[in-house]
Amino acid sequence: MDRSKRPILAKGEEYIMPYKQKNNMPKKDKRPTFDEARMKLSGEIKQALGVIENTPKEFLLDEVIVNVRMDVDYSAKSYHPNALISHIDANDVGSKKWTKEVISNNKNKPIKTKIGKEIFLRVNRNTLVDLEKQLNHGGNFSKGAIDNIRSIDTLFFDNHLTLIEKFDAEWKEGRVELVLHPFETKSQDAIDNLLKLIKKHGGDPSKVKYKTYKSGITFASTLLNRETLKCVLRFNPIRTAHPIYLKQIPSIRSGGSIKLPKPPNDILKSSIKVGVFDGGIDISNPYLTAFTTENNPIPTSKNRDFLEHGTGVVGAVLYGDLAKYESSTVLPVPRVNVESFRVFPLSDKNDIDLYEVIDIIEDVVPKRPDIQVYNLSIGPYGAIDDDNITRFTYAIDELSKNGDALFAVAVGNDGDLGVDELCRIQAPSDAVNCLGIGAYSKNHDGSLSRAEYSSYGDGREGCKIKPDFLDFGGSHTNPFQLISTKGDSRGFSCGTSFSTPLVTAKAAEIIGRCNFGNPLLARALLVHTAQHPEYKADRFMGHGIANQNVDDILTCSGNSVTTIYQSKLRPTQSIKLPFPFVKDLTYKGSVIVEWTIALSTEIDAKNTEDYTLSCIEDTFVPNVNKYKLYKDDEGKKRTKTVDLSKDGDLINELLGEGWTSSNNPNSYSRFSNKYKTEEERKQNFKWDTVIKRRASMKYLSLKDPYLVLHAMDRYDSSIDFVNYAVAVTINYVDCTEDVYDLTLKSYNKLEISQIRAVNEIMVK
């Protein structure tokens, strides 16, 4: 192989070792006293009981949901009110975030917005009465319960009047998704009462579809008008509601006299499979016949518009954008083959209910372990909402939580609506275990930029950086060229519907051609090799522009060496992940270190603020010899950085003068998560399932660099392990030595990945 293109290195996990994490600094307690807190909470419970008493019985069950807002500075896992919840025999049934404006010491920003946790508790009404009495008299509370009460900001009973605001003023009737809190053995009672309410207030209960998941949360899809909805929303078990629309299918226009390239000549088929849920295909189409399998799991007849979209998407998976091919060109044999699952048109064209599609996906995916990558260029219309998880998103995350399936999902085409709230990505691209794909277009000068229509972030908590990255989706002036159902003419369109299948094909090819490939590694490598012009992710481009060549993704180039690590971590476990850094070079220039971490996680739709149940926190240590020394000098804290290899005498002298040393080497400050509040950690994407970092340093400033990876879980999630994949690239920018060979000699446990040639994945 060309020495400038050599396979990425694997088995980096062979060098991983345990790591002891030091404790965080203690936090100053600014909460009210117990007496102050208990009297305030008692008054709020009394007020909540009054609202409950005046609420018609049809909107209540025996147990009620009350909202508890934790102090914005006490919303981390360690401050969760478990002791109080246990004391009153209540049930924690979910959470979401809430915001509060507080006075800041910053003169430029005197008002600061802080984010806290709002917890939903399911509790018996009589228990609330007893709690009010206990609080008035001081009660017999445990130390933990007292601490919890001091950490509560507010308790209240929500009448859901604000939920109607999720529906714009023009909305008169249509499909609505209602999300119900878990009621365990009473879940069916909640559903039955909901059906009665819908019928009583003018709705049709026969139009309701629902599903309760193991987590206890219930998703219900129902057809309502605005007046019925207003009444139904008062039902206390409802958590949230939002309208359901079918995402608009991009129009595909015919190229007329611009003919398609010729179909492939070779009767070969790739052994790599891709699943596509869309509008179906015509299996007799000569561009699809030999390379696709047709599945029609929905009991409806084919529809021309949906068929055109499905054909365009499947064709994009197989051949990409056809603009690079002349009409006289014979197309190459596709590197993947497609299993097409037709999920449109829906059974009732006048009643857009995507639950029918979700049911099919949930049925198909577990039965097809031979397919590891799926394409979704479909979904519900409308921007995501932080306080609401759609069933579509939840279903996709559940199907991919173990890292054995990967969904590439189009983020939507509303990025040009002019208002951030409307331009935001659309479900289910907000799934935290998937790749959300946006679109770029080519400008007249050849540069690339986000297509104006491509929806943008933020994503939801757990994967804030969305889209993950962009691929070519075309524009009106430079459209995506497609296989069409209209004879031998090309189709022309643009949209994230078509940028997404480009990524789907690449993900499947990475898995099928690399002997260490799997969905989690494919996700990590695709993000790792995406390039942002500013080397920093944003909400418009995500991590940048997708790498267009799988061979480039799977190989090292020039002075850059990429190593992959794949393993699992127990929650609370910390490990040291050494970088394969080549020592003793004569080189004195710059080194760019980049790393990307991808993990799969279980999720909890009840807790939109804490949706991901596990995470990996990373800390970069560039030099094992650099430490900080500290000393208090008349109330001022002084610090010095020392080097163990050079400053032995100075260190002994300073320690003798009362200086103290840090427990661990200095971390790279930009990525350090030490001593940060929970909100600051979230802003640093601590709970995100993908983390990408970059550091540029002088070669001589590095000494045995490594990452500390610390796995975390939320509450009592009972997660055994967190599966992860890491890609690390070390670029010795102007070095003339063969750093690839030197890396292998210095780290002989590493293995050269076996990359299958294209002809090796073809079968007759």
Residue for token pair 């404006």: 101
Q: Higher pLDDT residue, 4 or 88? A: 88
Closest residue by Cα to residue 74 from 713, 677, 714, 617: 677
Domain assignment present for residue 763? The answer is no
If asked whether residues 377 and 497 sit together in one domain, one would say yes
List the CATH number of the domain containing 56: 3.30.70
Within a domain: 194: yes
Give the burial string for 224-250 (b: 16+ CB within 10 Å, else e).
beeebbbbbbbbbbbbbbbbbebbebb
Query: Phi and psi (nearest 5°) for 696?
Result: -115, 120
Q: Let me know whether 79 and 201 are in one domain.
A: no
* Same domain? 178 vs 83: no
273 and 284, same domain (yes or no):
yes
Residue among 173, 317, 345, 358 nearest 249 (CA): 345
Q: For the chain, what is the domain count?
A: 5
Whether residues 467 and 593 fall in one domain? no
| Mean pLDDT on 307-312 | 96
Return the pLDDT at 633. Answer: 81
| 501 shares its domain with 646 | no
Are 266 and 407 part of one and the same domain? yes
pLDDT tens-digit series, residues 698-743: 999 999 999 999 998 876 667 888 999 999 999 999 999 999 999 9
- Single residue among 160, 176, 210 that ends a domain in this structure: 160
The reply to whether 86 and 185 lie within a common domain is no
Which tens digits make up the pLDDT trace of 583-622? 999 999 999 999 999 999 999 888 888 888 888 999 999 9
Distance CA 629, CA 678 (A): 26
**320 domain-assigned:** yes
pLDDT of residue 670: 57
For the segment 214-270, what is each residue's pLDDT rounded down to a tens digit?
Answer: 889 999 999 999 999 999 999 999 999 999 988 877 777 776 679 999 999 988 899
List the domain range (segments joined by +) for residue 593: 6-22+555-627+665-758
CB distance 356 to 389 below 8 Å: no
One-letter amino acid of 215: S
Q: What is the pLDDT of residues 316-359, one digit of tens each?
A: 999 999 999 999 999 999 999 999 999 999 998 777 789 999 99
> Do β-strands 406-410 and 373-376 pair in parallel, antiparallel, or remain unpaired?
parallel
Domain for residue 421, yes or no? Answer: yes
Q: Would the pTM of this model clear 0.75, i.e. be above it?
A: yes
Residue 243 lies in a domain: no
Residue 699, domain CATH: 2.60.120.380
Q: Print the SS3 string covering 64-113.
A: EEEEEEECCCCCCHHHCCHHHHHHCCCEEEEEEEEEEEEECCCCCCCEEE
Q: Which residues contact 701 (CB under 8 A, 6 or more apart)?
A: 622, 623
* Residue owning tokens 């599945």: 295
CATH of the domain at 419: 3.40.50.200
As a whole number of angstroms, the distance between CA 148 and CA 138 comes to: 14
What CATH number corresponds to the domain at position 230? 3.30.1370
247, part of any domain: no
pLDDT at 717: 64
Q: How confident is the model at residue 27 (pLDDT cuts 50, 70, 90)?
A: low
Q: Which two tokens stand for residue 695?
A: 């550091």
In a domain, 519, yes or no: yes
Domain-terminating residue out of 113, 131, 160:
160
pLDDT digits (tens, 9 = 90+) for 476-494: 999 999 999 988 899 999 9
- The number of residues in the chain equals 764
Which amino acid is it at 737? E
Evaluate whether 250 touches 381 at the Cβ level (below 8 Å): no
Residues 460 and 596 in one domain: no
Q: Which residue has the higher pLDDT, 719 or 298?
A: 298
Q: Is 400 within 8 Å of 433 (Cβ atoms)?
A: yes
Supply the pLDDT for residue 444.
Answer: 85
> Which of 235, 261, 280 delimits the end of a domain?
235
Percent of the chain with pLDDT over 70: 95
Question: 10 Å Cβ neighbour count for 746?
Answer: 14
- Asked, for residue 27, whether it belongs to a domain, the answer is no
Structure tokens at 73: 């500075």
On average, the pLDDT of the chain sits at 91
Model confidence at 682: pLDDT above 60: no
At 750 the pLDDT is 97
Q: Would the pLDDT of 679 be above 60? A: no
- The distance from CA 567 to its chain's CA centroid, rounded to whole angstroms, is 20
Q: Quickly state the pLDDT bin for 634 (edges 50, 70, 90).
A: confident
Residues 179 and 277 in one domain: no
Claim to verify: residue 349 and residue 487 sit in the same structural domain: yes
pLDDT at residue 21, as a whole number: 61
348 and 445 part of one domain: yes
CA distance 316 to 320: 4
* Residue 554 pLDDT greater than 60, yes or no: yes
48-67 confidence digits (pLDDT tens): 999 999 999 999 999 999 99
User: Do 535 and 719 form a contact (C-beta atoms < 8 A)?
Assistant: no
